[in-house]
Amino acid sequence: MNIAIYSRKSIETDTGQSIENQINMCKNYFSTQYPDANFLIFSDYGFSGGNTNRPDFQKMLNLAKRKQIDIIGVYKLDRVARNITDFFNIYSDLEKHNVKLVSITEGFDASTPIGRMMMTMLAGFADMERENIRQRVKDNMLELAKLGRWSGGRTPFGYDAISTIENGKRVAYLQLQEDKKEIIKEIFKLGSNNVSPYNISKKVNLHSRNIVRIIENPVYMISDELSIKYLSTKGFKVYGSPNGKGFLRYNSGENNIIAVSKHEGLIQSTVWIKAYTMIINRNLSRKTHISQQTYLAHLVKCSCGGNMFVGKSTTLGFVFRCQAHYKDKEVCEFKSIQTHLVEAGAIKNLKYLLSEDKPLIKYNNSKQLTRLNQDILKLKKDINKVTKDIDTLTSNLLLISGPAITIVNEKINKLILKRNDLNMNLMSKEEALYESTSYLENDENKKDKLKDALKDFENPNLTIQEKQQTAQSLFKEIIIYPDGKAEYFFL
């Protein structure tokens, strides 16, 4: 009888059950029932229950699939997963391979009908607890925004975050930098006179993308009746009464909140509105231009964050070129990709989704998603490297003796701590990735929309303009990576 004992702890503390205690309790529980049991121990430290991609956990599941485990024992059900969907996916896989799952402290055996029912309830409660924590964090951030407090993150250009004490608690607000005032005024003056962001950038020595971010941010606008009315017409929920100060913007899912703050505003509402309108009109005019070479024009972006425009190569034909690369090759090394390859990828992507019962993924913030994926990939590489270093040093222990053992052990301990830090960072990034994505239901209407789009893209009788209308109603944007791979983001 092979019994796997799995233990997990997010953060080691002095309270609660440690990994060692979880293992010992499981051993004691099964030893009385299976005296001759062979115990296999799997432990993950520094991983959340919301992350099922845990090293030892995945090793255990792989052994279970190869029928090398009869029972999996856990201290509590939430050691397996906190998300009810994850739990049932894992449980279903175990059941297929005749592996029993037992929660020793909760006394439930999933191989019995009552056990399955109780485990369903427990998994539901764990999932609900996780969602409640997430919602409380989000609600707290919303309340901070409504009060005009700075909730953290990168401060807008020209502002610092300063802390103060209110009612015995430390809170943060923005403070305008004196040496940036004239630059900000110049940006909005030029913007309100319909000067392009590119030309503004040359005058004030800032990147054009930063100019656009500054003009679009209401943090610089002085709050008055006109500004509040204008922002309301743009679909924002505006909190607070005009006080001659600036605004703070807070976005979270369906919430699009702007709050009157306590920091110094700099730009009169009439000037801000003119400059902001200029940006909107330029975006609209750019989108109305119809490319005659590809129906995916205006949708394709480089993974560096830059837009990709359509150009012609003497050897490759029509290509998507990275704008950032042509402005500064140090910013982005990726040059171009043929348009027909991106179009072929779109068609292949649609056919795959229609052939498989997969959830359709959309992205709330694809630029953030790209950065998170890159960070996660790097962290995984770093973790693998540290793990190899640990394995190498561990192997060397067999070949050395005396004081050298102590030195090698110290190095191993430092590497283990480093790996724990990397794993916790990875967990944080993966949680952020989870928060940045949402799933579209696989209802028939959405499937029909995919089928119609596929027919349009493959129809030789449709014009580029007609296919472009279909593409813009289907895709939010398409991100191209330096290796030529693409991600297609749905609206």
On whether both 122 and 181 belong to a single domain, the answer is no
- What is the structure's pLDDT at 253? 47
Q: Is residue 478 part of a domain?
A: yes
Tens digits of residue pLDDT in 371-394: 767 777 788 888 888 888 887 877
Pick the last residue of a domain from 288, 320, 355: 288
Q: Is residue 150 part of a domain?
A: no
On whether both 307 and 447 belong to a single domain, the answer is yes
Do 118 and 162 form a contact (C-beta atoms < 8 A)? no
On whether both 132 and 37 belong to a single domain, the answer is yes
Sign of CA dihedral 450, 455, 460, 461: negative
- What is the structure's pLDDT at 105? 81
The range of the structural domain enclosing residue 19 comes to: 2-142
Q: Is residue 365 part of a domain?
A: yes
Sign of CA dihedral 322, 459, 289, 477: negative
On whether both 28 and 124 belong to a single domain, the answer is yes
Into how many domains does the chain fold? 3
- Half-sphere exposure in the Cβ direction for 377 (13 Å, CA): 6
Distance CA 375, CA 391 (A): 24
On whether both 251 and 314 belong to a single domain, the answer is no
On whether both 110 and 173 belong to a single domain, the answer is no
- pTM, rounded to two decimals: 0.40
On whether both 105 and 82 belong to a single domain, the answer is yes
Compute the residue count for the chain: 491
- Report mean pLDDT in 10-residue bins for the chain, 491 residues: 85 56 87 88 76 83 89 84 71 83 75 64 63 66 69 85 83 90 95 89 88 92 93 85 88 68 92 90 58 84 82 87 78 83 88 67 53 76 84 72 75 80 73 53 64 87 84 83 79 67
On whether both 210 and 134 belong to a single domain, the answer is no
Pick the last residue of a domain from 245, 261, 288: 288
Pick the last residue of a domain from 288, 311, 332: 288
Distance CA 389, CA 102 (A): 36
Tens digits of residue pLDDT in 93-103: 888 888 888 88
- What is the structure's pLDDT at 84? 63
On whether both 278 and 339 belong to a single domain, the answer is no
Which CATH number characterizes residue 7's domain?
3.40.50.1390
Which CATH number characterizes residue 191's domain?
3.90.1750.20
In the chain the first and final C-alpha atoms are separated, in Å, by 51
Maximum Cα interatomic distance, the chain, rounded to a whole number of Å? 84
Distance CA 91, CA 106 (A): 17
Distance CA 47, CA 383 (A): 14
β-pairing verdict for 169-176 and 159-166? antiparallel
Q: Is residue 131 part of a domain?
A: yes
152: left (phi over 0), alpha (psi -120 to 50) or beta: left
